[in-house]
Amino acid sequence: DWHRWLPINIYSLGGASWVLAMMFWPVTAMLVVGSLMRLDREMIDAASEQSGIRFLIKVLVPFACPSLGLAYAITFVLALNQFPIPTILQVKVYSAEVWLRFNTTFDHWGALAVSWPLVLGPRAWLRCMSSRSWPWPWRADADTNCVFRRQLGSPLLRVVCM
Protein backbone atom coordinates (compact mmCIF):
# COMPACT_ATOMS: atom_id res chain seq x y z
CA ASP A 1 0.00 0.00 0.00
CA TRP A 2 1.73 3.18 -1.20
CA HIS A 3 -0.46 5.51 0.90
CA ARG A 4 1.78 4.79 3.89
CA TRP A 5 4.77 6.28 2.02
CA LEU A 6 2.95 9.06 0.24
CA PRO A 7 -0.23 10.22 2.02
CA ILE A 8 -1.64 12.09 -0.98
CA ASN A 9 -4.59 11.39 -3.23
CA ILE A 10 -2.89 11.26 -6.61
CA TYR A 11 -6.24 11.47 -8.42
CA SER A 12 -6.70 15.12 -7.45
CA LEU A 13 -5.39 18.51 -8.51
CA GLY A 14 -2.73 18.32 -5.79
CA GLY A 15 -1.63 14.88 -6.96
CA ALA A 16 -1.42 15.98 -10.58
CA SER A 17 0.56 19.05 -9.50
CA TRP A 18 2.93 16.82 -7.53
CA VAL A 19 3.51 14.53 -10.53
CA LEU A 20 4.14 17.53 -12.80
CA ALA A 21 6.51 19.03 -10.23
CA MET A 22 8.45 15.77 -10.11
CA MET A 23 8.57 15.77 -13.89
CA PHE A 24 9.83 19.35 -14.30
CA TRP A 25 12.12 19.85 -11.27
CA PRO A 26 15.29 19.25 -13.34
CA VAL A 27 14.60 22.46 -15.29
CA THR A 28 14.67 24.52 -12.10
CA ALA A 29 17.65 22.62 -10.69
CA MET A 30 19.70 23.08 -13.86
CA LEU A 31 19.05 26.81 -14.06
CA VAL A 32 19.72 27.46 -10.36
CA VAL A 33 22.92 25.39 -10.35
CA GLY A 34 24.05 27.22 -13.49
CA SER A 35 23.50 30.60 -11.86
CA LEU A 36 25.30 29.55 -8.68
CA MET A 37 28.26 28.28 -10.71
CA ARG A 38 28.79 31.87 -11.88
CA LEU A 39 29.61 32.99 -8.34
CA ASP A 40 33.18 34.22 -8.08
CA ARG A 41 35.47 33.56 -5.16
CA GLU A 42 35.57 37.31 -4.48
CA MET A 43 31.77 37.45 -4.20
CA ILE A 44 31.75 34.61 -1.71
CA ASP A 45 34.64 36.07 0.28
CA ALA A 46 32.83 39.42 0.44
CA ALA A 47 30.05 37.69 2.35
CA SER A 48 32.45 36.00 4.75
CA GLU A 49 30.52 37.14 7.82
CA GLN A 50 27.48 35.22 6.55
CA SER A 51 27.42 31.46 6.99
CA GLY A 52 24.91 28.64 7.02
CA ILE A 53 21.29 29.61 6.56
CA ARG A 54 22.10 33.35 6.57
CA PHE A 55 24.52 32.78 3.67
CA LEU A 56 21.79 30.91 1.84
CA ILE A 57 19.13 33.58 2.40
CA LYS A 58 21.22 36.75 2.03
CA VAL A 59 23.65 35.73 -0.73
CA LEU A 60 22.52 32.68 -2.70
CA VAL A 61 18.79 33.29 -3.00
CA PRO A 62 19.14 36.88 -4.35
CA PHE A 63 21.80 35.68 -6.79
CA ALA A 64 19.57 32.84 -8.02
CA CYS A 65 16.33 34.88 -8.28
CA PRO A 66 16.62 35.69 -12.02
CA SER A 67 17.19 32.01 -12.75
CA LEU A 68 14.26 31.08 -10.53
CA GLY A 69 12.07 33.46 -12.50
CA LEU A 70 13.19 31.93 -15.78
CA ALA A 71 12.68 28.42 -14.39
CA TYR A 72 9.17 29.39 -13.25
CA ALA A 73 8.30 30.69 -16.71
CA ILE A 74 9.66 27.61 -18.51
CA THR A 75 7.98 25.22 -16.08
CA PHE A 76 4.67 27.09 -16.34
CA VAL A 77 4.70 26.91 -20.14
CA LEU A 78 5.63 23.22 -20.12
CA ALA A 79 2.96 22.38 -17.53
CA LEU A 80 0.33 24.48 -19.33
CA ASN A 81 0.78 22.43 -22.48
CA GLN A 82 0.93 19.10 -20.63
CA PHE A 83 -2.35 17.25 -20.86
CA PRO A 84 -1.65 13.47 -20.68
CA ILE A 85 -0.77 13.37 -16.96
CA PRO A 86 -3.82 15.32 -15.72
CA THR A 87 -6.02 13.37 -18.13
CA ILE A 88 -4.73 10.01 -16.88
CA LEU A 89 -5.21 11.19 -13.29
CA GLN A 90 -8.76 12.34 -14.22
CA VAL A 91 -8.18 15.99 -13.36
CA LYS A 92 -9.86 18.59 -15.54
CA VAL A 93 -7.33 21.09 -16.89
CA TYR A 94 -7.59 23.57 -19.72
CA SER A 95 -5.30 21.78 -22.18
CA ALA A 96 -7.12 18.48 -21.65
CA GLU A 97 -10.46 20.15 -22.36
CA VAL A 98 -9.08 21.57 -25.62
CA TRP A 99 -7.78 18.13 -26.58
CA LEU A 100 -11.10 16.47 -25.80
CA ARG A 101 -12.94 19.04 -27.89
CA PHE A 102 -10.58 18.34 -30.77
CA ASN A 103 -10.51 14.56 -30.40
CA THR A 104 -14.07 13.61 -29.49
CA THR A 105 -16.26 16.06 -31.39
CA PHE A 106 -13.79 16.69 -34.25
CA ASP A 107 -14.44 20.40 -33.82
CA HIS A 108 -11.07 21.47 -35.21
CA TRP A 109 -11.86 25.15 -35.58
CA GLY A 110 -13.54 25.33 -32.19
CA ALA A 111 -10.53 23.70 -30.53
CA LEU A 112 -8.22 26.13 -32.32
CA ALA A 113 -10.39 29.07 -31.25
CA VAL A 114 -10.26 28.17 -27.55
CA SER A 115 -6.60 27.13 -27.58
CA TRP A 116 -5.23 30.63 -28.22
CA PRO A 117 -3.74 30.91 -24.67
CA LEU A 118 -1.83 27.66 -25.27
CA VAL A 119 -0.32 29.12 -28.44
CA LEU A 120 0.09 32.81 -27.66
CA GLY A 121 1.36 32.43 -24.07
CA PRO A 122 4.52 30.48 -24.97
CA ARG A 123 5.02 32.59 -28.09
CA ALA A 124 4.90 35.85 -26.11
CA TRP A 125 7.22 34.39 -23.48
CA LEU A 126 9.67 33.28 -26.17
CA ARG A 127 9.62 36.72 -27.76
CA CYS A 128 10.37 38.39 -24.40
CA MET A 129 13.14 35.96 -23.52
CA SER A 130 14.84 35.90 -26.93
CA SER A 131 16.17 39.44 -26.49
CA ARG A 132 17.97 38.57 -23.24
CA SER A 133 21.24 36.75 -22.98
CA TRP A 134 21.56 33.94 -20.47
CA PRO A 135 25.19 33.23 -19.65
CA TRP A 136 25.95 29.65 -18.83
CA PRO A 137 29.18 28.63 -17.10
CA TRP A 138 31.14 25.89 -18.81
CA ARG A 139 32.95 24.73 -15.71
CA ALA A 140 33.16 25.67 -12.08
CA ASP A 141 36.34 26.80 -10.43
CA ALA A 142 37.54 24.20 -7.87
CA ASP A 143 38.77 26.98 -5.57
CA THR A 144 35.32 28.60 -5.60
CA ASN A 145 33.70 25.27 -4.72
CA CYS A 146 35.82 24.94 -1.58
CA VAL A 147 34.95 28.47 -0.41
CA PHE A 148 31.29 27.88 -1.26
CA ARG A 149 31.20 24.70 0.83
CA ARG A 150 32.93 26.44 3.74
CA GLN A 151 30.43 29.31 3.73
CA LEU A 152 27.40 27.07 3.37
CA GLY A 153 28.43 24.86 6.26
CA SER A 154 28.38 21.12 6.72
CA PRO A 155 24.79 20.59 7.97
CA LEU A 156 23.20 22.77 5.32
CA LEU A 157 25.43 21.31 2.61
CA ARG A 158 24.13 17.82 3.46
CA VAL A 159 20.54 19.03 3.10
CA VAL A 160 21.21 20.82 -0.19
CA CYS A 161 23.17 17.95 -1.75
CA MET A 162 20.68 15.19 -0.94
CA distance 55 to 57: 6
% pLDDT > 90, the chain: 0
Select the more confidently predicted residue: 1 or 84: 84
- What is the pLDDT at residue 148? 62
CA distance 141 to 146: 9
Question: Under a CB-based contact definition with an 8 Å cutoff, are residues 99 and 87 in contact?
Answer: yes
Give the best-scoring range by mean pLDDT among 5-9, 62-66, 129-133, 134-138: 62-66
Which strand (E) or helix (H) includes residue 72? Answer: helix 61-80
CA distance 53 to 74: 28
CB count within 10 Å of CB 67 equals 19
Select the more confidently predicted residue: 131 or 93: 93
Q: What is the pTM of this model?
A: 0.64
Which class for 55: exposed (0-12), middle (13-18), buried (19 or more C-beta within 10 A)?
buried
Give the best-scoring range by mean pLDDT among 18-22, 104-108, 128-132: 18-22
CA distance 76 to 152: 30
- What is the pLDDT at residue 125? 76
Over residues 75-120, the pLDDT tens digits come to 888 887 787 888 788 888 877 778 777 888 888 888 888 888 777 8
Which is it for the CA torsion 135, 141, 146, 151, positive or negative? negative
Q: In whole angstroms, how large is the CA radius of gyration of the chain? A: 21
- What is the pLDDT at residue 136? 62
Give percent helix, percent strand, percent coil of the chain, each to the nearest 5. 70, 0, 30
